[in-house]
Amino acid sequence: MAHREFKDRLYGEFARIGKAVASPQRLEFLDLLAQREWSVEELANETDQSIANASAHLKVLRTAQLVETRRDGSYIYYRLADQNVVRLWQAIRDIGQERLAEIDRIVDQFMAGRDDFQPVDAQTLLNRLHEDDVLLLDVRPKAEYDQGHLPGARSVPIDELESHLEELDPDREIIAYCRGPYCLFADEAVELLRQRGFQARRMADGLPDWRMAGLPVQREGVNE
């Protein structure tokens, strides 16, 4: 057997994955696609890119078999190929957080004071879901909530939260969650709620991390 040729070709294939994720924009796409499927146009708008650039990035991810597509009329929707792609993104994120000091500096710069929001870990939150004194808010966009959310969570997108404050019970602690540990929606929600006199905390992670931990998820009233 030609060992060198075998190894070169084998690791060359593995390197396709590395090349596919060697882009800030494509990593953000993976993070967003862990929430739900998106059209090219939606991803371009969400990430402030042109449709042409978004399409090019998605083509790279699709060539590496990290995403799949479906067509609905004139629109093409993208989704992650499977849950192993979520694990890949989590691994990159966690190793970066552990090994790259610059990530901590960026977080401190842009998310200063978030530890004051007393983040709640998944297991603690799971144990509290049965308590009537806790209200769980999903502050992601409604389209993401519809494709999967924590059991019993109420959808109040961050840009609508202020208009719904009068509907919230001030005697219940509110726990807000969003896309993941580097999503700012939950931080903004907790800051607003505390300013208005509510007891509020944020979930440490997001819906994809909750799902990957094997914890229960609801979608349109159906348990996954």
Total structural domains in the chain? 2
- The Cα–Cα gap between 106 and 88 comes to 22
Counting residues of the chain whose pLDDT is more than 90, the rounded percentage is: 84
Domain shared by 76 and 138, yes or no: no
* 98, part of any domain: no
Domain shared by 42 and 77, yes or no: yes
Examine the fold and report which residue of 85, 120, 155 is the final residue of a domain before the chain moves on. Answer: 85
Mean pLDDT over 94-120 rounds to 86
Domain shared by 118 and 217, yes or no: yes
* pLDDT interval class at 108 (50, 70, 90): confident
In whole numbers, what is the pLDDT of the chain averaged over residues? 93
Domain shared by 121 and 211, yes or no: yes
pLDDT exceeds cutoff 60 at 221: no
Neighbours of 140 (CB within 10 A): 26
pLDDT exceeds cutoff 70 at 198: yes
pLDDT of residue 220: 67
Catalytically active residues are 178
Tokens 């800030």, residue located: 24
* 102, part of any domain: no
pLDDT of residue 175: 96
The CA dihedral of 77, 81, 136, 120, to the nearest 10 degrees, is: -140
Kindly tell me the sign of the dihedral angle through the C-alpha atoms of 102, 103, 106, 112. Answer: negative
pLDDT tens-place string over residues 44-84: 999 999 999 999 999 999 999 999 999 999 999 999 999 99
Examine the fold and report which residue of 44, 69, 85 is the final residue of a domain before the chain moves on. Answer: 85
32 half-sphere exposure, CB direction, 13 A CA radius: 22
* pLDDT interval class at 93 (50, 70, 90): very high
pLDDT of residue 129: 83
pLDDT of residue 20: 98
Task: Domain of residue 67: give its range.
Answer: 3-85
pLDDT exceeds cutoff 70 at 222: no
- The Cα–Cα gap between 190 and 102 comes to 26
